[in-house]
């Protein structure tokens, strides 16, 4: 298999652990292992201490599957647990064939369109546009895009990096159009539950023709657990992923699954603390950027942890280089999203966001 470098992940690999501050992370504030083991709902510490380090069940620990089924209601056979990025890889590779038509919203987290391309699919982009102070997806564009027996529509709401969310009516329309055309929807719901200025949308897995992907990396702030899941009413799509997983990780880490189950059984509480941090940071970011209208075009995010403002004065690549060199601050330029609009990603999920924003302010003024 040949695949283009994942530009965002290569950028993070270069800077994430070599600079002091990050303006553009997409996760929320994390927690130490001790705190997760102290969560209610099970004897997590004892379970971890006495856990045999044997192989685990390929689909995922039955306790986790049961907790997820209580959330999604698709039946145990409709769920598989794995690393989020691995699950995107496995779904795309088990479902798609060379020549299939795939419609993917754009910009997007690269694996959502790069994996279909690497398989030899015809990938058509459904573009988000910024105008009148808001992001939008043109609903009239979708119907013609879903022509010619499109096999898969890929969406991601709340959206990384823009923070865009459709209205509930638009969301239903997207689902209806996909269903009418016979396309399956792959709905990346990593940021669901992190709504800022929009109502929470239902999960796409309530529909017959969809697979959803979510996990513990963003809202719960536990990316180091490498735990996510797919859920679908179409059990055959999940069993194909399960069969292919035998060629990647086979099964999940046992100790990781104890921590993941503790987190999933307390997911609302974990997310609520991070929603509070996110809301405060989003308000700060709104005031900061709105106060600099000559330098930055700011579109407030409707949900998720990120926003995608545009630098109006100067070149964003130069500014990102200066941020690293002068402030030890990582700022993600839009080129890593295959965009060339002089934008950058702002990530508002962590407690130290005000510090990173302050440094960015010094850079803009300097």
Ligand X SMILES: Cc1ncc(COP(=O)(O)O)c(C=O)c1O
Q: Is 33 exposed, middle or buried (0-12, 13-18, 19+ CB in 10 A)?
A: middle
As measured in angstroms, the least distance from the Cβ of 289 to ligand X is 21
Q: Is 26 in the site for ligand X (CB under 6 A)?
A: yes
When the beta carbons of 5 and 46 are compared against ligand X, the nearer one is 5
As measured in angstroms, the least distance from the Cβ of 148 to ligand X is 26
Q: Which of 60, 84, 220, 300 binds ligand X (CB under 6 A)?
A: 84
Q: Is 210 in the site for ligand X (CB under 6 A)?
A: no
As measured in angstroms, the least distance from the Cβ of 265 to ligand X is 20
Q: Is 274 in the site for ligand X (CB under 6 A)?
A: no
As measured in angstroms, the least distance from the Cβ of 318 to ligand X is 25
The piece of 40-48, 80-88, 90-98, 145-153 that touches ligand X (CB under 6 A) is 80-88
Across the beta sheet with 332-333, the strand order is 306-307, 344-347, 332-333
Q: Which of 79, 190, 332, 357 binds ligand X (CB under 6 A)?
A: 190
Question: Hunting for tokens 């993070």 — which residue is that?
Answer: 12
As measured in angstroms, the least distance from the Cβ of 218 to ligand X is 7
Q: Is 188 in the site for ligand X (CB under 6 A)?
A: yes
As measured in angstroms, the least distance from the Cβ of 89 to ligand X is 10
How far CA 266 is from CA of 36, 40, 43, 51, 105, in Å, comes to 9, 7, 13, 21, 32
**Separation between Cα atoms, residue 69 and residue 45, nearest integer Å:** 24
**Separation between Cα atoms, residue 206 and residue 74, nearest integer Å:** 8
Q: Which of 19, 68, 83, 196 binds ligand X (CB under 6 A)?
A: 83
Other Cβ atoms less than 10 A from the Cβ of 286: the count is 17
Backbone torsion region of residue 72, taken as left when φ is above 0, otherwise alpha when ψ lies between -120 and 50, otherwise beta: alpha
**Separation between Cα atoms, residue 147 and residue 144, nearest integer Å:** 5
Q: Which of 85, 257, 261, 334 binds ligand X (CB under 6 A)?
A: 85
Structure tokens that stand for 305 in this block: 């942890």
Site size toward ligand X (CB under 6 A) is 12
Q: Produce one character per residue of 135-159: b if its CB has 16 or more CB atoms within 10 Å, e if not.
A: bebeeeebeebbeeebbbbbbbbbb
As measured in angstroms, the least distance from the Cβ of 308 to ligand X is 13
**Separation between Cα atoms, residue 324 and residue 305, nearest integer Å:** 22
Q: Is 160 in the site for ligand X (CB under 6 A)?
A: yes
Q: Which of 44, 109, 298, 308 binds ligand X (CB under 6 A)?
A: 109
Would you tell me which residues interact with ligand X (CB under 6 A)?
26, 83-85, 109, 156, 160, 188, 190, 215, 217, 223
């Amino acid at each position: 298999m040949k695949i283009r470098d994942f530009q965002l992940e290569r950028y993070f690999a270069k800077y994430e652990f070599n600079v002091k501050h990050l303006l553009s992370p997409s996760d929320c504030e994390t927690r130490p292992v001790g705190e997760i083991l102290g969560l209610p709902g099970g004897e997590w510490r004892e379970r971890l201490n006495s856990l045999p380090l044997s192989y685990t069940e390929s689909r995922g620990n039955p306790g986790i599957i049961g907790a997820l089924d209580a959330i999604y209601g698709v039946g145990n056979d409709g769920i598989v647990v794995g690393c989020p990025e691995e699950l995107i890889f496995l779904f795309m590779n088990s479902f798609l064939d060379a020549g299939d038509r795939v419609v993917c919203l754009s910009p997007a987290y690269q694996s959502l369109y790069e994996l279909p391309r690497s398989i030899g699919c015809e990938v058509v982009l459904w573009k988000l546009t910024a105008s009148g102070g808001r992001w939008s997806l043109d609903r009239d564009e979708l119907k013609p895009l879903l022509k010619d027996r499109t096999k898969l529509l890929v969406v991601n709401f709340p959206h990384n990096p823009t923070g865009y969310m459709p209205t509930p009516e638009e969301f239903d329309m997207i689902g209806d159009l996909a269903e009418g055309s016979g396309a399956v929807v792959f709905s990346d719901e990593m940021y669901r539950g992190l709504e800022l200025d929009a109502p929470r949308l239902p999960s796409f897995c309530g529909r017959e023709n969809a697979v959803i992907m979510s996990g513990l990396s963003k809202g719960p702030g536990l990316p180091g657990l490498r735990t996510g899941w797919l859920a679908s009413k179409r059990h055959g799509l999940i069993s194909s992923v399960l069969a292919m997983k035998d060629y990647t990780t086979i099964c999940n880490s046992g100790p990781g699954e104890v921590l993941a189950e503790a987190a999933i059984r307390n997911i609302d509480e974990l997310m609520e603390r991070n929603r509070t941090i996110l809301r405060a940071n989003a308000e700060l970011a709104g005031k900061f950027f709105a106060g600099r209208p000559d330098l930055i075009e700011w579109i407030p995010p409707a949900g998720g942890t990120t926003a995608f403002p545009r630098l109006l004065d100067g070149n964003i690549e130069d500014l990102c280089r200066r941020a690293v060199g002068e402030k030890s601050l990582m700022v993600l330029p839009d080129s890593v999203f295959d965009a060339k609009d002089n934008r950058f990603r702002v990530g508002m999920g962590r407690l130290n966001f005000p510090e990173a924003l302050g440094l960015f302010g010094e850079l803009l003024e300097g």
